[in-house]
Structure 1
Amino acid sequence: MSSKTRQNENNCEEQSGLKEELNRKIKEQKVVVDELSNLKKNRKVYVQQRNSNIFFLADRGQTLGSCKKELDNMKKELQDI
């Protein structure tokens, strides 16, 4: 088998792995968006600070909007692959 053939197979496997990982993240993000959408208006939402175990009180509407935007970006990235 030539080195180009092996390289193409490795690239296909890497892309497949990336697609699977992205699909998993998209499913997780859909759950987050659904959960935020179904919260009662008076419920509090906390957002975790990056690389930390600290949570901060956040606005539900802003959090939902940013989660939807992130989901759209993930879907767009999946289509580009």
Structure 2
Amino acid sequence: MKAAVWDTYVKKKNGEIMHFDIIAPDHINDTALIFRYGKDYLETKGERGQELSTKECKFCHIENLAPAQEELIKRDGFFIIEMEGCNP
């Protein structure tokens, strides 16, 4: 399965930056849906209400998924790869 990688940088409530990738099926090009995935993730991190738009989240590239990643997409529709500043 091919997936789109959306490179995302969000300013946290404490002013620090969270860097994470939103991974979704490559056929999804509705940015509102991608942003919803990102906002759902932010909510799990206690960062509800932080700005997430085309300024913070941009399409990066398409890649092939490993079988375990495909299962996450099938189960949840997307998954997140945490890069920097995502955990306290």
TM-score, length-scaled by structure 2: 0.24
Specify which structure has the higher proportion of strand. 2
Specify which structure has the higher proportion of helix. 1
Larger Rg: 1
